Amino acid sequence: MRWNWQRPDWPQFQFEKSHLREAETQFLKGSGVVVGAMQHLDKDANQQLIVQLISQEMVESSAIEGEVLDRASVQSSIARQLGFAPDKRRSTPAEAGAAELMVDLYRHYAAPLTDQILFDWHAMLMNGRRDLDVIGGYRMHAEAMQIISGPLHASHIHFAAPPSKNVSFEMARFIEWFNRTAPTGAEPLPAIERAAVAHLWFETIHPFEDGNGRIGRALAEKALAQSLEAPTLTALAATINVHKKAYYLELHCASETNHIDAWMEWFGNVVLEAQSRTLQNIRFLIEKTRFLDRLRDKLNTRQEKALLRMLAEGPDGFQGGLSAQNYRSITGATSATATRDLADLVSLGALNRTGENRYARYSLCLG
């Protein structure tokens, strides 16, 4: 009995609940801070934040699985679907489907989980795919559902999920638990505990031919949102992607036992880090608005273009700082004009400068 679902105690996950108590408390406190920070945003900034965070979640969740989505296309599609802005970009089927899933999650987070919701999510996510036997339904193939790496002649099995004939039964049991443990259910569970167990349980069943990781992370977001009674803006997938190697290792270890203390602790830390990342994004957006207001009518078109390009990088900033050569590439300015523009931005308090001559680098001065 190598895998957790093959053991007699499946799916009775065991862990020390007291070890999550502090994380649960911090999460609830942090949620209040996030709500308070968002109250400082005007309507346009609030909409911008929502689109940014929702799109980031799906782009990063897809990146975990090795699929690259164009961030701008996903953002444009999400903005259109939320009614915030017309869609001026063409999205690929994968980008449009990913955006549709995240918007559905954002709008209907409070709805009880059903097979049909999961089927709809799968159909959205697999938009445009022609290589799967079942889209919008649980897998039905007779061969084993395995996660494998390496060449065919020397492959390594990281995990083997329950056979397809068991999936409907396993998912019925999972969905009943998910709804029963919701805040409005008969046996509500704390936010992080429920999200952590839900994600592990769903990934163990692996009910679809493809897309299980992305849908499983969306389910964790749904669990967190239901616990907060608000659409979640927790940057969960973005944070998991930063720790992708550890994520797969923790999932693998948890797939071999139903004693999951290590998984619960790891997931709790990730949720708190994700919440901190969200708060950082909100504060950055507030600082960005104040920054641009302070410089209104003081910039030429080249300077404005360069600053907006730097701001587009978000809280983590422009990789390595802005150089004069970067500035010329962004704006098309000559060398002499770039030097004057950058010196003017420093005097205006828009940029900080470090280094000299060709080693000079510039960073935003948002404080």
Sign for the pseudo-dihedral over CA of 91, 95, 98, 99: negative
On whether 109 is known to bind a ligand per the annotation, the reply is no
Query: How many whole angstroms separate alpha carbon 3 and alpha carbon 140?
Result: 21
On whether 359 is known to bind a ligand per the annotation, the reply is no
Quick check: 261 and 12 in contact, CB under 8 A? no
What 313-317 contacts at long range (C-beta under 8 Å, 24+ apart), as own/partner pairs, is 314/281, 314/284, 315/280, 315/281, 315/283, 315/284, 317/363, 317/364
On whether 248 is known to bind a ligand per the annotation, the reply is yes
Query: How many whole angstroms separate alpha carbon 100 and alpha carbon 104?
Result: 6
Q: Catalytic annotation on 206?
A: yes
Hey, which residues does 157 pair with through a beta bridge? 148
On whether 216 is known to bind a ligand per the annotation, the reply is yes
On whether 211 is known to bind a ligand per the annotation, the reply is yes
- How are beta strands 361-364 and 351-354 bridged, if at all? antiparallel
Query: How many whole angstroms separate alpha carbon 245 and alpha carbon 82?
Result: 34
Q: What are phi and psi of 362, to 5 degrees?
A: -125, 140
Quick check: 353 and 362 in contact, CB under 8 A? yes
Task: State the catalytic residue, choosing from 40, 206, 243, 259.
Answer: 206
On whether 210 is known to bind a ligand per the annotation, the reply is yes
Query: How many whole angstroms separate alpha carbon 96 and alpha carbon 58?
Result: 11
- Catalytic residue positions, numbered: 206
Binding site per annotation, positions for ATP = 210-217, 247-248
Binding site per annotation, positions = 210-217, 247-248
